[in-house]
Amino acid sequence: MPSGLYLITDDNSDGSLFKRVESALKGGVRTVQYRAKEATADERFGMAQKLRKACHAAGAKLIINDFPELAKEIDADGVHLGQDDMSVSQARQMLGRDKIIGVSTHSVDQALKAESHGADYIALGSIFPTSSKDAPELVGIDALRKVRRAIRVPLVAIGGIDITGADLAIDAGADAVAVISSVMQDRSPGIAAREISLLFNRKLGRPRGRVLTIAGSDCGGGAGIQADLKTISLLGSYGSCVITALTAQNTLGVKGVFPIDSNFVTEQLNAVLDDIGTDTIKTGMLSWGGTVTRVAQAIRRHCLLAVVDPVMIAKGGAPLLDKEALDSLLSQMLPQAYLLTPNLPEAEKITGTKVRNLAEMEEAGRLLQDLGARNVLMKGGHLINDDAVDLLLIGDAKHELRSPRIETKNTHGTGCTYSSAIATFLAQGLPLLKAVEEAKKFIDLSIITAVESGKGHGSVNHVEAAFRYFHEHRS
């Protein structure tokens, strides 16, 4: 039965429909509804066959919209019927008892009727406004809640659904959310599909979601892989890791760096991704260009949401990224970054511009988006003002995240902890804005509760921050 992300196809006017659906399947689509009223019978048959093969290879279902004869002919998984189409019983007689039959509805009464007639799932819409000329009248999120309470079969929310609407629909009880343009018209259908499909992870038990951190080892335990795994585990997700470099460091600074051969980095990546898998990736210190390229390729191949922390300089000033790695970061990694999280010196290094205030933060962030990053979090800890202000750029929108500045030298591991917390909340089913807001609460708590450790910049306090977060701050 439909659950998770339900993709409805659009037209194939530019011939790219199959390629876009194939990308979306990599991003986690669980059901594809093939809709092609304007196509010829031969075109529908050929495309439906290709889609069936691709769906089944990805472990997804193919539902044919409005054409039960075509569904039978290609042995699709089921058919979707409108209010004016044949009855559920007629479709059942044509397709057989083992096929899925869904029905579009616009009210509680229609949903109850369809369920009583034997529908396997109910689609309700339009939940939100949509530009489609064929869209039914708006029913809204309250109607979704009422239908959820009234029926027992799976419920699919449909109509005008983007990441924000999907977030609301899932909380209102939808078992699946149906999308069209928010995935099919995105420049990266796979990533658009992935960010919506991950929202359903909120229904999982603990550990909730999987996070893979790809970074260097900090033997002092305050930053790098060690800080990432502490954060991921304490916040309730499953953490795995790929080590890109070994460092000899403590609170006084980095004493030495031993890069891991990029071939062995690839072996680690394959070992995790081919077996355990992951929902999100967090990258930190990538050391040199060969490693950056291998990691970027893996993110692209598996169509994963990557939180990229462009670690360049250690707290004590030691360089952690050579020129080859910087070039690879710009050309290979930035286009794969779902969220790039630079501090201001890192943003200046990448863009070649000065960043001294909020306006310049936005300007630099937009330049980073132009270089390929899908979304950017400009961390404003280096600004000279009373508040610590971060600027989150999600597409064309911007969001300011403010918190009181905390005067302390014990900030070792803040960047690693912040970015891994964001990746964790994404893996747990929060949309990006909420994930960043919750991560900022966590990182603020970890700085506030930091204790002296060593003679230099002490580490933030992951344990106390997690305790306070879950007892006091979780919204």
| 274 contacts: CB under 8 Å, gap ≥ 6 | none
Cite the DSSP H helix spans in 277-399. Answer: 289-302, 323-328, 344-351, 358-370
Whether 414 is catalytic:
yes
Measure the CA angle with vertex 25, ends 308 and 114; round to 5°: 125
Whether 341 is catalytic:
no
Q: Residues 291, 414, 417, 424: which is the catalytic one?
A: 414
Cα gap 345→6, rounded to integer Å: 42
Whether 219 is catalytic:
no
Instruction: List residues bridging with 258 in a β-sheet.
Output: 246
Whether 317 is catalytic:
no
Q: Residues 222, 416, 429, 458: which is the catalytic one?
A: 416
Whether 380 is catalytic:
no
Cα gap 437→75, rounded to integer Å: 46
Task: Provide the residue type at 86 as one letter.
Answer: M
Whether 411 is catalytic:
yes
Q: DSSP assignment of 97-131, as one string? A: TTSEEEEEESSHHHHHHHHHTT-SEEEE--SS---
Q: Residues 99, 230, 282, 379: which is the catalytic one?
A: 379
Cα gap 66→85, rounded to integer Å: 7
Q: Residues 289, 415, 429, 458: which is the catalytic one?
A: 415
Q: Residues 213, 411, 417, 424: which is the catalytic one?
A: 411
Distance of CA 464 to the CA centre of its chain: 28
Q: Residues 4, 27, 209, 413: which is the catalytic one?
A: 413
Cα gap 461→444, rounded to integer Å: 10
Closest C-alpha to 203, from 464, 457, 4: 4
Task: Provide the residue type at 357 as one letter.
Answer: N
Cα gap 190→305, rounded to integer Å: 10
Give catalytic residue positions. Answer: 379, 411, 413-416
